[in-house]
Amino acid sequence: MAEINLFFIFIGSIGFDLLIGDPRIIIHPVQLIGTYIKQITKFFIHNFKGNKRILFWGGLFIALSTIGISFAIGKLIELIYIQSKSNFIFGILIFLGLSSCLASKSLISTVKEISSLIHDNITDQKTEQIVKEKVQKIVSRDVSNSSLEHLLRSSSESLTENSVDGIFGPLFWIFIGIVFIKFSIYLPGPLSLGFSYKAISTLDSMIGYKYDQYKYLGFFSAKIEDYSTFVPSRLVLLTLPLISSKFKQYTSLIKKSYSDGIKYDSPNSGISEAIFAYISNIKLGGENKYNDEIIEKPIINANGDICSKEKINLICQLILRLQILWIIIFTIIFFNI
């Protein structure tokens, strides 16, 4: 019975995230995870900045400890909930915890706001600076001198890449946890796997870079994120065409997207960006600035249109439709195992 309750809590948490997002009155788990990562990273950089070997193995400690603590907290709440025969308070904790692992509303609303500002309201430098600040919050590249066209492309790339990290990756691992719980309460469950994936994603975004000391400190974090996102990103590749108007071109879309996507340093993000790019028919990739260094990313869908407000709205619709499809698939699988 507890696993059925958990399944419906999971479904409810998806709806809560879509409608409400992250309540501001509650401390978000990512804030706590981020604080831990920031402090322990600062310790290693301050004391061992010139020692590549210590930074390398220190990075492994940061990754494992962050994931381990996140997993343990989630597992403890799960066990108390199940052993207390679905205690209401801990049910609420699981509900809010699962919702916090998802980022549908925050991701979609942020990018839509940026595209609307660019499309409707940019009439002065002050407004343009506000837009650049908003874009800078969702990308790691330097957009201080970017054109409006580049700002839209950056926002589109963030939306298509982070749809996996922030939405479909967590959905996948939470569902795996719900399936595991059906077999044993001591196996990883939805909250423990959801928190673990969120920790992995946060590690990668904070220290999984490829320059300066982070090249060593963030090595394991980046690799773990690659492996944990491998399956979800490919499931997005395989299922997204099914809810689009181009489903009759299914095989062609998969081949083109995979061919373009694997050219990226991160084949997971490349693949997710590519399938959205081909279905919405936009061109992604090109010149980006990171720490005063110009990096040329491979072009995705070279014959696609430039990014626009309409294209971003279409991508947001595709994300919402795909979530509905995944919920239907998860429900069928869950009740037939």
Q: How far apart are CA 160 and CA 41, in angstroms?
A: 29
Radius of gyration of the chain (CA): 20
Q: How far apart are CA 44 and CA 205, in angstroms?
A: 18
pTM: 0.94
Phi/psi at 281 (5° precision): 55, 55
Q: What is the mean pLDDT of residues 42-59?
A: 92
pLDDT, tens digit, for every residue of 224-265?
999 999 999 999 999 999 999 999 999 999 999 999 999 988
pLDDT value at residue 254: 97
Tokens of 12: 């409810």
Task: Kindly tell me if the per-residue pLDDT of 126 is higher than 70.
Answer: yes
Tokens of 264: 């990226």
Instruction: Tell me if 9 sits within 8 A of 98, measured CB to CB.
Output: yes
pLDDT, tens digit, for every residue of 15-40?
999 998 877 666 778 888 999 999 99
